[in-house]
Chain A
Amino acid sequence: MPVEIDIAKVARLARLALSEEDLDRYREQCEVVLEHAARVQALPTDGVAGTSHPLPRTNAFREDRITECLDTEEVLAQAPDRDGDFFSVPKILDEQ
């Protein structure tokens, strides 16, 4: 079953700035893999619930208790850019 991908749109959603050439190559490769993956559609699954998790567990809660935080310096030492005790990023264009 042939699969067609709007690869530029997918790359934008995934925040990947890829060249036209790369996009073409990834589109081809992804289409091949997805054609194989689309075989799942051949299996009848009427009335079958999906499994998102292999572990049949529920209600894993923690107590509402404060635990130790990280040291701000140790955290910010890993930041690509900082301004005082803030992480610094290029300007944000729009609110979500």
Chain B
Amino acid sequence: MSDLADFTVTAAAAGLRSGDFSSVELLEAVHKRAAMTEANLHAYLTIDRDGAARGAVAADSALKKGTAHGPLHGIPVALKDNMVTRGLETTASSKILSGYLPPYDGTAVTRLREGGAVIFGKTNLDEFAMGSSTENSAYGPSRNPWDPERVPGGSSGGSAAAVAAGSALVGFGSDTGGSIRQPAALCGIVGMKPTYGLVSRYGLIAFASSLDQIGPLTRTVEDSVAALEVVGGHDPADSTSYPGAVPDYRSGLKSGVAGLRVGVVAELNGAGIDPAVQAAVDQTVAQLEEAGATIVELSLPSIEYALSAYYLIAPAECSANLARFDGVRYGLRRLGENVEEMMSNTRADGFGPEVTRRILLGTYALSAGYYDAFYGQAQRVRTLIIQDFQAAYQQADVLVSPTSPTTAFKLGDRTQDPLSMYLSDVCTIPSNMSGDPAISVPIGVDADGMPIGFQVMAPALGEPVMFRVAAEVERQAGFTVRARHASSEVVT
């Protein structure tokens, strides 16, 4: 039998059900893999040895009793450390939450537990999910399993690295401007951001509330479906949760793309995209056409402004969302003569530079005299972006583009220039602005052997058609290469 840590969720679930191996054995394989890879990759902030062991034992006993339910039953999962877990340290990679033990589970976490998933650990991220490389972690960066000198992308870089390296079968992340799709692309795995409201945000430490969505990072499209089936669906604890029934994502997975209209977005292809990335994307588009899809060239002029609008809206929301970290009720406290000084000292010391910068940006964009020109205008631009998408979906069933303009870059390459880092998300941000679903599927590698991601976007609640096209992309690409885990060479 090959290494259980390399199994897909779908294969592992089948093995568990047929009794080929147990959840405890599966967990052991993942522990073994993590022991090999963690020194290099630092995908995890916390591995919950005891909790995971209890989870695996419980999962096995349910399997024996035949009470197992859900496609992630008995499967070790990795959670981005901005998903709150009761009694399990949750830091969002920030010093300000060092040692914080939440007194409750978020809804997605509850659904995973109820679905029999084994929570293996909490993964590294850019502090409060702000970044595109996982270098903005107060606890040190994560590294790319394909090349530890490179970043895994971000902000869900820890979950992406873990799934790519085999130290989890499935990971969960959050995507505010591309934070699931971009690291998935850079680590050669599948990452999807559901329609806004499809997965409850209750228990997700907020970065930008109107943009954040929890979603899965997996090795295959089918695994992505399995993961979404467990965490998706209405939650009354989240007022912005989509109230309708969850559609069937699976039935279209093998239907192919014949008769579908695939829109190639002019603004997200070509200029500014690394030639090797663009060549791979063009090849995939050609394969889709060959498979029976109609290719439509489309322009969404307003999305040229999406990045600019995003860097007003996201910081504005974050400036309020992060106001609660003040040293009063939980987390770090730095002393001060009075409460105001205590708060100001705590926040100055507790937040890293990227978070501080975004709080300052957002505070400015909302402040008296600037609101209308900045935040207000960004919201109007957001309306235009949504209108452009709606018009585009009249002409195409899905839209496609590269996920990231480049493959994984070297650690430190972009940390000195915030704007260059922000450009990593130029292709992913538009779907966050519109609230629509999007997925990244690996399609090949560049000359350095670094993976390339292909993005499929769909209209709101268009997950079925998005998964259908993604599955075809996956088949066409035949991307079976896996990361070399970087287990033997420790990078210092």
Contact = CB atoms under 8 A, between A and B. Distances in A.
Given A51-B383, A79-B330, A29 B378 contact: no
Contact of A51 (B356, B386, B418): B386
A37 B103 CA distance: 39
A66 interface: no
A2 interface: no
Interface in B312-344: 312, 319, 323, 326-333, 335-344
B384 A45 contact: yes
Contact of B236 (A10, A29, A49, A62): A62
A11 B331 CA distance: 21
Contacts of A77: 101
B491 interface: no
A79 B338 CA distance: 17
A36 B418 CA distance: 11
Contact of A54 (B210, B311, B333, B339): B210
B51 to A, nearest CB: 17
B366 to A, nearest CB: 9
Interface string B368-389: 0000011011111111101000
Given A16-B348, A80-B327, A10 B363 contact: yes
Interface stretch (B169-177, B181-189, B301-309): B301-309
Contact of B243 (A57, A74, A79, A81): A57
Given A30-B357, A40-B377, A43-B381, A74 B331 contact: no
A91 B339 contact: yes
A7 B356 CA distance: 12
A81 B380 contact: no
- The main secondary structure of chain B at its interface with chain A is helix
Nearest to B366: A13
B100 A37 contact: no
Contact of B326 (A5, A15, A33, A41): A15
Interface string B257-292: 000000000000000000000000000000000000
Given A15-B340, A50-B379, A32 B419 contact: yes
Contacts of B418: 29, 32-33
Interface string A10-42: 111111111000000010011011101111111
B361 interface: yes
Contacts of A54: 196, 210, 386, 433-435, 460
Interface centre among B100, B342, B380 (most CB of A within 10 A): B380
Contacts of A18: 348, 356
A90 B383 contact: no
Given A55-B435, A81-B333, A15 B344 contact: yes
Contacts of B307: 36
Contact of B360 (A30, A50, A87): A30
B305 A55 contact: no
A50 B319 contact: no
A5 to B, nearest CB: 6
B239 interface: yes
B422 interface: yes
B108 interface: no
A95 B105 CA distance: 35
A92 B338 contact: yes
Contact of A14 (B196, B319, B376, B380): B319
Nearest to A54: B435
B240 interface: yes
B208 to A, nearest CB: 11
B364 interface: yes
Interface string A57-95: 100101000000011001101111100000101111100
Contacts of A30: 357, 360-361, 364
Nearest to A81: B333
B374 A48 contact: no
B31 interface: no
A49 B384 CA distance: 9
B80 interface: no
A14 B347 contact: yes
Contacts of A38: 308, 373-374
B196 A40 contact: no
A22 to B, nearest CB: 8
B359 interface: yes
A50 B382 contact: yes
Nearest to A46: B380
B10 interface: no
Nearest to B211: A54
A-B pairs, 7 with minimum CB distance: A54-B435, A50-B379, A80-B333, A17-B344, A45-B380, A60-B239, A78-B330
6 contacts: A14-B319, A51-B380, A54-B386, A55-B196, A78-B101, A89-B339
Given A38-B373, A39-B308, A70-B103, 10 more contacts: A17-B348, A18-B348, A18-B356, A40-B305, A43-B381, A49-B380, A51-B386, A54-B210, A80-B330, A90-B335
